[in-house]
Homo-oligomer: A and B are copies of this chain.
Amino acid sequence: MTNKPTIRDVAKHANVSPATVSYVLNGVKKVSDKTKIRVLEAIEQLGYYPDFTAVSLSKRKSNLIGIMLPLTDDMPDNATASVLKNNLYYNEFISGVEMVAREQQFDTLLTGVADQEECRKWVKKRNLDGLIFLGIFPKSIFEQMSKLGIPIVLIDTYEEYTKLFNNVQIDDELGGYLAANHLIKLGHKNIAFVSTNLNLSPVDTKRFTGFKKALNEAGLEVNNHLLFETREITFENGMEIAEKILNENKELTGIVTVSDILAIGMIKAFQYHQKHVPNDFSIVGFDDLSISQFTTPSLTTIKQDIFKKGEKAAELLMNNIGDQGVERQIIELPVQLVVRESTKKIVSN
């Protein structure tokens, strides 16, 4: 038979009880060395390995972690997929999580959630051992989640109500500061800030804070006309903003964005309208995606190691799953200015 051997098969083969086999498997030191060896041999011979489903049912532990992607209400049902499709950021992050999880015999599940009920069900249905929240979620969801009793790691959250969870983040304010400062040092005085809706994104707000700080320090005034908000981070939205800038004839030479994606879209639109980057506009991205050094011009950007962010998040989660009662941690990863071709010293008039 190609049938998978069970723990009872092994037990029979080794002339012991299933319990003993289980003890050997789990390193419970209740077993004499000689029986242990017999059991190990039997396991080897039969090619036995435990069924995770059964383990999961009896231990109430699935060796499964979940990554939660945000779905706003106005998105179509199938938005998980489209979020993934368009956002290279998620891709790298998930890879990092995957890698660490796999090393520890965990598998990773992905979902988008519209409401907390759905989320709770998902966790319960699959007996998930831990959760990573990637993105912004409403307060109510966290209240629900904290009742779930499983470790949770948040990414890039600043809201007060998230303070009781683990968090992996970067110094977003510094990122915004570095980006603006870079342009200022290049002589730019009229600098735009391009982000998602600041009311909805504390991350972008932090970056904006850093941005403003740099301008203030340089004695430059923060001009609200040079703040551009878009709903979602896509290439297309980047193009739209660039066109808006051109249409409205904004006076500016420098642009700080919260995402390489937006920056790339903007550059494309500028080029389409015969504007040159960096000659006409200097643009700083954010993230340093793998594509960003291969665009033309290559992107000056604030680099964060998204892959490592995923790794750290998974490590944190694993530690918490391993033993509860670990204290809540905040891990801050570094950001760094990477200067490439999309920014340039301004040509004074």
Residues of A within 8 A of B (CB): 2, 4, 49-54, 56-57, 62, 77-78, 80-82, 84-86, 88, 91-92, 94-96, 98-99, 102-103, 107-111, 121, 124-127, 147, 149, 235, 264-265, 267-268, 271, 290-291, 293-298, 307
Contacts and interface: CB of A to CB of B under 8 A. Distances in A.
A44 to B, nearest CB: 13
Contacts of A265: 294
Nearest to A297: B296
B85 A91 contact: yes
Nearest to A96: B81
Contact of A85 (B82, B235, B290): B290
Given A50-B125, A125-B52, A268-B294, A95 B108 contact: no
Nearest to A265: B294
Contact of A95 (B2, B85, B96): B85
Contacts of A99: 78, 80-81
B290 A271 contact: no
Contacts of A80: 95, 98-99, 102
Contacts of A124: 4, 49, 51
B62 A53 contact: yes
A245 to B, nearest CB: 17
